[in-house]
Protein backbone atom coordinates (compact mmCIF):
# COMPACT_ATOMS: atom_id res chain seq x y z
CA UNK A 1 0.00 0.00 0.00
CA UNK A 2 1.50 3.25 -1.14
CA UNK A 3 0.06 6.62 -0.15
CA UNK A 4 0.37 8.82 -3.20
CA UNK A 5 -0.77 11.91 -1.37
CA UNK A 6 -3.72 14.21 -2.02
CA UNK A 7 -4.20 15.58 -5.52
CA UNK A 8 -6.42 18.49 -6.55
CA UNK A 9 -8.95 17.75 -9.33
CA UNK A 10 -9.56 20.33 -12.01
CA UNK A 11 -12.62 21.01 -14.14
CA UNK A 12 -13.03 18.55 -16.98
CA UNK A 13 -11.87 14.97 -17.25
CA UNK A 14 -9.51 13.77 -14.54
CA UNK A 15 -7.49 10.67 -15.46
CA UNK A 16 -5.08 8.97 -13.07
CA UNK A 17 -2.41 6.39 -14.05
CA UNK A 18 -1.17 3.85 -11.54
CA UNK A 19 2.16 2.04 -12.39
CA UNK A 20 3.49 -0.91 -10.41
CA UNK A 21 7.04 -2.39 -10.89
CA UNK A 22 7.89 -5.85 -9.49
CA UNK A 23 11.22 -6.81 -7.94
CA UNK A 24 11.96 -8.94 -10.95
CA UNK A 25 11.65 -5.88 -13.18
CA UNK A 26 8.11 -6.45 -14.47
CA UNK A 27 5.81 -3.42 -14.88
CA UNK A 28 2.00 -3.23 -14.69
CA UNK A 29 -0.14 -0.12 -15.07
CA UNK A 30 -3.85 0.87 -14.92
CA UNK A 31 -5.80 3.95 -15.90
CA UNK A 32 -8.79 5.40 -13.91
CA UNK A 33 -11.15 8.23 -15.01
CA UNK A 34 -12.82 10.11 -12.14
CA UNK A 35 -16.53 11.25 -12.55
CA UNK A 36 -17.93 14.58 -11.27
CA UNK A 37 -21.52 15.22 -10.10
CA UNK A 38 -23.76 17.24 -12.44
CA UNK A 39 -24.96 20.71 -11.45
CA UNK A 40 -28.69 21.57 -11.52
CA UNK A 41 -30.64 24.80 -10.96
CA UNK A 42 -34.40 25.61 -10.83
CA UNK A 43 -35.51 28.85 -12.45
CA UNK A 44 -39.29 28.33 -12.76
CA UNK A 45 -41.65 28.72 -11.05
CA UNK A 46 -40.40 31.92 -9.48
CA UNK A 47 -43.54 32.52 -7.36
CA UNK A 48 -46.35 30.59 -5.74
CA UNK A 49 -48.78 29.44 -8.42
CA UNK A 50 -52.27 27.95 -8.71
CA UNK A 51 -53.52 25.38 -11.21
CA UNK A 52 -56.82 23.77 -12.15
CA UNK A 53 -58.48 21.79 -14.92
CA UNK A 54 -59.42 25.02 -16.71
CA UNK A 55 -57.92 25.58 -20.18
CA UNK A 56 -54.62 27.41 -19.93
CA UNK A 57 -54.31 26.70 -16.21
CA UNK A 58 -53.88 22.93 -16.04
CA UNK A 59 -50.18 22.56 -17.01
CA UNK A 60 -47.64 22.54 -14.17
CA UNK A 61 -44.10 23.30 -15.35
CA UNK A 62 -40.84 23.13 -13.41
CA UNK A 63 -37.72 24.11 -15.36
CA UNK A 64 -34.10 25.15 -14.97
CA UNK A 65 -30.58 24.36 -16.20
CA UNK A 66 -28.20 21.41 -15.85
CA UNK A 67 -24.52 20.91 -16.69
CA UNK A 68 -21.99 18.09 -16.34
CA UNK A 69 -18.26 18.57 -16.86
CA UNK A 70 -18.07 14.92 -17.85
CA UNK A 71 -20.53 15.68 -20.70
CA UNK A 72 -22.69 12.75 -19.61
CA UNK A 73 -26.34 12.41 -20.53
CA UNK A 74 -28.18 13.63 -17.44
CA UNK A 75 -31.61 12.35 -16.41
CA UNK A 76 -33.81 14.94 -14.66
CA UNK A 77 -36.74 13.65 -12.57
CA UNK A 78 -39.31 14.91 -10.05
CA UNK A 79 -42.66 13.76 -8.65
CA UNK A 80 -45.90 15.60 -7.80
CA UNK A 81 -48.73 13.68 -6.10
CA UNK A 82 -46.91 10.42 -6.93
CA UNK A 83 -46.67 11.24 -10.65
CA UNK A 84 -42.98 11.12 -11.68
CA UNK A 85 -41.81 12.99 -14.76
CA UNK A 86 -38.44 12.36 -16.47
CA UNK A 87 -36.41 14.06 -19.18
CA UNK A 88 -32.89 13.28 -20.48
CA UNK A 89 -30.51 16.10 -21.38
CA UNK A 90 -27.43 15.52 -23.56
CA UNK A 91 -24.35 17.61 -24.45
CA UNK A 92 -24.16 18.84 -20.91
CA UNK A 93 -20.58 20.07 -20.94
CA UNK A 94 -22.22 23.47 -21.17
CA UNK A 95 -25.41 24.41 -19.30
CA UNK A 96 -28.60 23.19 -20.96
CA UNK A 97 -32.21 23.96 -20.11
CA UNK A 98 -34.56 21.26 -18.86
CA UNK A 99 -38.31 21.20 -18.24
CA UNK A 100 -40.78 18.83 -16.57
CA UNK A 101 -44.55 19.18 -17.05
CA UNK A 102 -47.65 17.69 -15.42
CA UNK A 103 -51.21 17.88 -16.74
CA UNK A 104 -53.66 18.30 -13.84
CA UNK A 105 -56.39 16.46 -15.75
CA UNK A 106 -54.40 13.77 -17.57
CA UNK A 107 -52.14 13.04 -14.60
CA UNK A 108 -55.06 13.27 -12.16
CA UNK A 109 -53.25 15.60 -9.79
CA UNK A 110 -55.31 15.77 -6.62
CA UNK A 111 -56.52 19.06 -5.18
CA UNK A 112 -54.13 20.43 -2.60
CA UNK A 113 -50.89 22.34 -2.06
CA UNK A 114 -47.47 21.01 -3.12
CA UNK A 115 -44.17 22.48 -1.96
CA UNK A 116 -40.51 21.47 -1.42
CA UNK A 117 -40.59 19.41 -4.61
CA UNK A 118 -37.25 17.60 -5.03
CA UNK A 119 -35.69 17.59 -8.51
CA UNK A 120 -32.89 15.04 -9.15
CA UNK A 121 -30.15 15.10 -11.80
CA UNK A 122 -28.46 11.70 -12.44
CA UNK A 123 -25.58 11.39 -14.94
CA UNK A 124 -25.77 7.59 -14.99
CA UNK A 125 -22.15 7.32 -13.89
CA UNK A 126 -22.83 7.61 -10.20
CA UNK A 127 -22.99 11.38 -10.16
CA UNK A 128 -26.19 12.77 -8.64
CA UNK A 129 -27.29 16.31 -7.81
CA UNK A 130 -30.57 17.60 -6.35
CA UNK A 131 -32.42 20.90 -6.08
CA UNK A 132 -35.60 21.79 -4.19
CA UNK A 133 -38.39 23.90 -5.65
CA UNK A 134 -39.05 26.43 -2.88
CA UNK A 135 -42.48 27.73 -3.89
CA UNK A 136 -45.99 26.37 -3.30
CA UNK A 137 -48.05 24.97 -6.15
CA UNK A 138 -51.78 24.86 -5.41
CA UNK A 139 -54.10 22.59 -7.38
CA UNK A 140 -57.70 23.80 -7.11
CA UNK A 141 -60.38 21.69 -8.79
CA UNK A 142 -63.36 23.42 -7.12
CA UNK A 143 -65.35 26.14 -8.90
CA UNK A 144 -66.54 29.20 -6.92
CA UNK A 145 -70.07 29.24 -5.49
CA UNK A 146 -72.27 32.20 -6.50
CA UNK A 147 -75.05 33.61 -4.30
CA UNK A 148 -77.75 35.97 -5.66
CA UNK A 149 -80.45 37.50 -3.46
CA UNK A 150 -83.18 40.08 -3.95
CA UNK A 151 -84.25 38.73 -7.33
CA UNK A 152 -85.53 35.37 -8.57
CA UNK A 153 -85.77 33.77 -11.97
CA UNK A 154 -89.03 34.37 -13.83
CA UNK A 155 -90.41 36.93 -11.36
CA UNK A 156 -91.93 40.37 -12.07
CA UNK A 157 -91.11 43.32 -9.81
CA UNK A 158 -93.01 46.59 -9.55
CA UNK A 159 -91.08 49.76 -10.42
CA UNK A 160 -87.65 48.59 -9.20
CA UNK A 161 -85.62 45.70 -7.80
CA UNK A 162 -82.18 45.56 -6.15
CA UNK A 163 -80.20 42.35 -6.69
CA UNK A 164 -77.24 41.54 -4.43
CA UNK A 165 -74.62 38.98 -5.43
CA UNK A 166 -71.43 37.49 -3.97
CA UNK A 167 -69.21 34.42 -4.34
CA UNK A 168 -67.00 32.15 -2.25
CA UNK A 169 -64.21 29.73 -3.17
CA UNK A 170 -63.42 26.62 -1.13
CA UNK A 171 -60.82 25.08 -3.44
CA UNK A 172 -57.79 26.74 -1.90
CA UNK A 173 -56.72 29.13 -4.65
CA UNK A 174 -58.96 31.94 -3.40
CA UNK A 175 -61.50 34.10 -5.20
CA UNK A 176 -60.00 36.32 -7.89
CA UNK A 177 -63.08 38.22 -9.07
CA UNK A 178 -66.87 38.29 -9.09
CA UNK A 179 -68.50 40.49 -11.73
CA UNK A 180 -71.91 40.88 -13.33
CA UNK A 181 -73.63 42.24 -16.40
CA UNK A 182 -77.21 43.44 -16.79
CA UNK A 183 -78.45 43.08 -20.34
CA UNK A 184 -74.82 42.94 -21.46
CA UNK A 185 -73.68 46.04 -19.56
CA UNK A 186 -71.54 46.09 -16.42
CA UNK A 187 -73.62 45.95 -13.23
CA UNK A 188 -72.66 46.63 -9.60
CA UNK A 189 -74.18 44.60 -6.79
CA UNK A 190 -76.81 46.50 -4.79
CA UNK A 191 -77.73 48.94 -7.57
CA UNK A 192 -81.48 49.48 -7.98
CA UNK A 193 -82.80 48.43 -11.39
CA UNK A 194 -85.57 50.76 -12.50
CA UNK A 195 -85.65 50.37 -16.28
CA UNK A 196 -88.83 48.72 -17.53
CA UNK A 197 -89.02 45.40 -19.32
CA UNK A 198 -87.21 42.08 -19.35
CA UNK A 199 -83.84 41.93 -17.61
CA UNK A 200 -81.01 39.37 -17.76
CA UNK A 201 -78.50 39.42 -14.90
CA UNK A 202 -75.36 37.30 -15.43
CA UNK A 203 -72.92 36.85 -12.52
CA UNK A 204 -69.44 35.40 -13.15
CA UNK A 205 -66.97 34.29 -10.46
CA UNK A 206 -63.34 33.28 -11.14
CA UNK A 207 -60.76 31.98 -8.66
CA UNK A 208 -56.97 32.34 -8.84
CA UNK A 209 -56.68 28.88 -10.39
CA UNK A 210 -58.88 29.83 -13.35
CA UNK A 211 -61.97 27.94 -12.21
CA UNK A 212 -65.09 29.80 -13.32
CA UNK A 213 -68.76 29.74 -12.31
CA UNK A 214 -71.62 31.61 -13.95
CA UNK A 215 -75.23 32.11 -12.92
CA UNK A 216 -78.03 33.87 -14.82
CA UNK A 217 -81.35 35.29 -13.62
CA UNK A 218 -84.14 36.36 -15.98
CA UNK A 219 -86.77 38.71 -14.53
CA UNK A 220 -89.00 41.64 -15.42
CA UNK A 221 -89.34 45.14 -13.99
CA UNK A 222 -92.88 46.47 -14.44
CA UNK A 223 -93.20 50.23 -14.23
CA UNK A 224 -96.52 51.37 -12.79
CA UNK A 225 -98.79 53.16 -15.28
CA UNK A 226 -98.93 56.93 -15.31
CA UNK A 227 -102.01 59.12 -15.53
CA UNK A 228 -102.07 62.71 -16.73
CA UNK A 229 -105.10 64.78 -15.67
CA UNK A 230 -106.05 67.93 -17.55
CA UNK A 231 -108.90 70.40 -17.04
CA UNK A 232 -110.25 71.65 -20.39
CA UNK A 233 -112.35 74.27 -18.60
CA UNK A 234 -109.38 75.91 -16.89
CA UNK A 235 -106.76 74.81 -19.46
CA UNK A 236 -104.41 73.42 -16.85
CA UNK A 237 -102.76 70.15 -15.89
CA UNK A 238 -103.90 68.98 -12.48
CA UNK A 239 -101.25 68.40 -9.83
CA UNK A 240 -101.63 65.65 -7.26
CA UNK A 241 -104.05 66.76 -4.54
CA UNK A 242 -105.00 69.97 -6.36
CA UNK A 243 -108.26 71.72 -5.46
CA UNK A 244 -110.43 72.85 -8.38
CA UNK A 245 -113.15 75.43 -7.65
CA UNK A 246 -116.33 75.20 -9.72
CA UNK A 247 -119.66 77.01 -9.61
CA UNK A 248 -121.82 74.19 -10.88
CA UNK A 249 -122.47 70.58 -9.99
CA UNK A 250 -120.31 69.04 -12.72
CA UNK A 251 -116.64 68.96 -13.71
CA UNK A 252 -114.89 67.43 -16.73
CA UNK A 253 -111.35 66.07 -16.60
CA UNK A 254 -109.30 64.80 -19.53
CA UNK A 255 -107.46 61.56 -18.67
CA UNK A 256 -104.34 60.35 -20.51
CA UNK A 257 -103.13 56.92 -19.29
CA UNK A 258 -99.66 55.69 -20.22
CA UNK A 259 -97.32 52.81 -19.46
CA UNK A 260 -93.57 52.43 -19.95
CA UNK A 261 -94.03 48.71 -20.60
CA UNK A 262 -95.08 48.39 -24.22
CA UNK A 263 -97.84 45.84 -24.63
CA UNK A 264 -99.39 46.09 -21.17
CA UNK A 265 -103.20 46.14 -21.10
CA UNK A 266 -104.63 49.13 -19.19
CA UNK A 267 -107.86 49.77 -17.28
CA UNK A 268 -109.17 52.80 -15.39
CA UNK A 269 -111.53 53.36 -12.45
CA UNK A 270 -113.32 56.54 -11.29
CA UNK A 271 -114.27 57.24 -7.66
CA UNK A 272 -116.20 60.36 -6.59
CA UNK A 273 -116.70 61.14 -2.90
CA UNK A 274 -116.11 57.47 -2.04
CA UNK A 275 -118.59 56.20 -4.63
CA UNK A 276 -117.38 54.21 -7.64
CA UNK A 277 -118.61 55.89 -10.82
CA UNK A 278 -116.67 53.78 -13.35
CA UNK A 279 -115.43 50.33 -12.35
CA UNK A 280 -112.31 49.12 -14.20
CA UNK A 281 -112.94 49.85 -17.81
CA UNK A 282 -110.45 49.23 -20.63
CA UNK A 283 -108.43 52.15 -21.95
CA UNK A 284 -105.56 52.61 -24.39
CA UNK A 285 -101.99 53.70 -23.82
CA UNK A 286 -101.34 57.39 -24.59
CA UNK A 287 -104.90 57.98 -25.86
CA UNK A 288 -106.75 60.73 -23.96
CA UNK A 289 -110.45 60.63 -23.11
CA UNK A 290 -112.81 62.90 -21.16
CA UNK A 291 -114.66 61.96 -18.00
CA UNK A 292 -117.35 64.19 -16.48
CA UNK A 293 -117.98 64.14 -12.73
CA UNK A 294 -121.69 64.90 -12.23
CA UNK A 295 -123.80 65.55 -9.14
CA UNK A 296 -120.91 67.45 -7.58
CA UNK A 297 -122.15 68.42 -4.14
CA UNK A 298 -121.67 71.82 -2.59
CA UNK A 299 -118.36 71.95 -0.77
CA UNK A 300 -115.42 69.59 -1.23
CA UNK A 301 -115.71 66.48 -3.40
CA UNK A 302 -112.68 64.17 -3.35
CA UNK A 303 -112.20 62.51 -6.75
CA UNK A 304 -109.87 59.68 -7.70
CA UNK A 305 -108.71 58.35 -11.07
CA UNK A 306 -107.03 54.94 -10.89
CA UNK A 307 -105.14 53.23 -13.73
CA UNK A 308 -103.78 49.69 -13.58
CA UNK A 309 -101.95 47.34 -15.96
CA UNK A 310 -102.17 43.57 -16.32
CA UNK A 311 -98.81 43.03 -14.56
CA UNK A 312 -99.83 44.31 -11.13
CA UNK A 313 -98.84 47.96 -11.55
CA UNK A 314 -101.28 50.66 -10.45
CA UNK A 315 -101.37 54.43 -10.00
CA UNK A 316 -103.96 56.57 -8.18
CA UNK A 317 -104.42 60.29 -8.89
CA UNK A 318 -106.43 62.36 -6.41
CA UNK A 319 -107.89 65.85 -6.69
CA UNK A 320 -110.71 67.80 -5.05
CA UNK A 321 -113.60 69.58 -6.75
CA UNK A 322 -114.94 72.40 -4.55
CA UNK A 323 -118.44 73.44 -5.57
CA UNK A 324 -119.19 77.02 -4.59
CA UNK A 325 -122.36 77.55 -6.58
CA UNK A 326 -123.96 80.99 -6.03
CA UNK A 327 -127.32 81.16 -4.24
CA UNK A 328 -126.49 78.38 -1.82
CA UNK A 329 -130.06 78.13 -0.51
CA UNK A 330 -131.40 77.40 -3.98
CA UNK A 331 -128.50 75.13 -4.99
CA UNK A 332 -128.90 73.08 -1.83
CA UNK A 333 -132.56 72.28 -2.34
CA UNK A 334 -132.00 69.30 -4.61
CA UNK A 335 -128.90 67.86 -2.89
CA UNK A 336 -128.29 65.75 0.15
CA UNK A 337 -125.13 65.40 2.17
CA UNK A 338 -122.67 67.81 3.73
CA UNK A 339 -122.86 71.47 2.74
CA UNK A 340 -120.28 74.17 3.20
CA UNK A 341 -122.11 77.52 3.35
CA UNK A 342 -121.74 80.93 4.90
CA UNK A 343 -124.72 81.95 7.02
CA UNK A 344 -125.49 85.22 8.78
CA UNK A 345 -126.22 85.47 12.49
CA UNK A 346 -128.73 87.86 14.03
CA UNK A 347 -128.16 89.98 17.09
CA UNK A 348 -127.43 88.17 20.36
CA UNK A 349 -130.42 86.21 21.50
CA UNK A 350 -132.01 86.07 18.07
CA UNK A 351 -132.50 82.96 15.96
CA UNK A 352 -130.21 81.68 13.19
CA UNK A 353 -131.36 82.82 9.78
CA UNK A 354 -131.82 80.71 6.62
CA UNK A 355 -131.30 77.28 8.26
CA UNK A 356 -134.45 76.01 6.63
CA UNK A 357 -132.95 76.95 3.27
CA UNK A 358 -130.31 74.22 3.82
CA UNK A 359 -132.90 71.46 3.90
CA UNK A 360 -133.37 69.51 0.65
CA UNK A 361 -136.77 69.87 -0.88
CA UNK A 362 -139.33 67.64 0.81
CA UNK A 363 -137.04 66.73 3.68
CA UNK A 364 -138.80 66.83 7.06
CA UNK A 365 -136.24 65.15 9.27
CA UNK A 366 -133.80 66.77 11.67
CA UNK A 367 -130.92 68.91 10.48
CA UNK A 368 -127.57 68.77 12.29
CA UNK A 369 -124.85 71.32 11.71
CA UNK A 370 -121.42 72.34 12.92
CA UNK A 371 -119.11 75.19 12.14
CA UNK A 372 -116.90 77.93 13.44
CA UNK A 373 -118.08 81.11 15.13
CA UNK A 374 -115.49 83.79 15.82
CA UNK A 375 -112.72 81.17 15.23
CA UNK A 376 -114.17 78.81 17.85
CA UNK A 377 -115.54 75.39 16.88
Do 172 and 213 share a domain, yes or no? yes
Do 80 and 96 share a domain, yes or no? yes
In a domain, 34, yes or no: no
Of 188, 222, 256, which residue is a domain's last?
Answer: 222
- For residue 114, give the CATH number of its domain: 2.60.40.650
In a domain, 290, yes or no: yes
Of 137, 169, 186, which residue is a domain's last?
Answer: 137
Query: What is the span of the domain harbouring residue 236?
Result: 226-323
Do 242 and 214 share a domain, yes or no? no
Do 261 and 246 share a domain, yes or no? yes
Do 114 and 160 share a domain, yes or no? no
Going by their DSSP bridges, the two strands 27-34 and 59-67 should be labelled as unpaired
Residue-level pLDDT, tens digit, the chain, 377 residues = 667 676 665 555 555 555 666 666 666 656 666 889 999 999 999 999 999 999 999 999 999 999 999 999 999 999 999 999 999 999 999 999 999 999 999 999 999 999 999 999 999 999 999 999 999 999 999 999 999 999 999 999 999 999 999 999 998 899 999 999 999 999 999 999 999 999 999 999 999 999 999 999 999 999 999 999 999 988 999 999 999 988 888 899 999 999 988 788 999 999 998 899 999 999 999 999 999 998 888 888 899 999 999 999 999 999 999 887 654 444 444 444 455 555 545 445 545 545 555 555 565 666 666 665 555 54
Do 108 and 174 share a domain, yes or no? no
State how far Cα 161 lies from the chain centre: 12
In a domain, 130, yes or no: yes
Can you tell me the distance from the alpha carbon of 87 to that of 121, in angstroms, rounded to the nearest whole number? 10
Can you tell me the distance from the alpha carbon of 23 to that of 40, in angstroms, rounded to the nearest whole number? 49
Q: Containing H/E element for 331?
A: helix 328-331
The answer to whether 309 and 156 are in contact (CB under 8 A) is no
Do 254 and 296 share a domain, yes or no? yes
- For residue 255, give the CATH number of its domain: 2.60.40.10
As for how many domains the chain has, the answer is 3
Report the greatest alpha carbon distance in the chain: 175
Can you tell me the distance from the alpha carbon of 192 to that of 157, in angstroms, rounded to the nearest whole number? 12
Do 127 and 149 share a domain, yes or no? no
pTM: 0.67
Of 119, 137, 155, which residue is a domain's last?
Answer: 137
Do 306 and 318 share a domain, yes or no? yes
DSSP string across 23-52: TTS-EEEEEEEE-PPPEEEEEE--S-EEE-
Amino acid sequence: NVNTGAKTLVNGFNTSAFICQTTSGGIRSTMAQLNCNPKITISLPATNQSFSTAPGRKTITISGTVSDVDNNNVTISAAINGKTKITVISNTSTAKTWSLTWDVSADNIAEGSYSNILVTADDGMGGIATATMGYTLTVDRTTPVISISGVANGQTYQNSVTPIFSATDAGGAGLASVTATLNGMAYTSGTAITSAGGQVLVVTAIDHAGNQSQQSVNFTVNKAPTCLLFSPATNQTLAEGQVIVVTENRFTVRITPDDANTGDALQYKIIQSGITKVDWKNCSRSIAFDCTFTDVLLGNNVCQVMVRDDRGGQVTRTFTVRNKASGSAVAALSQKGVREVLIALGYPGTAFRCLNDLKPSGYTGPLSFSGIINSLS
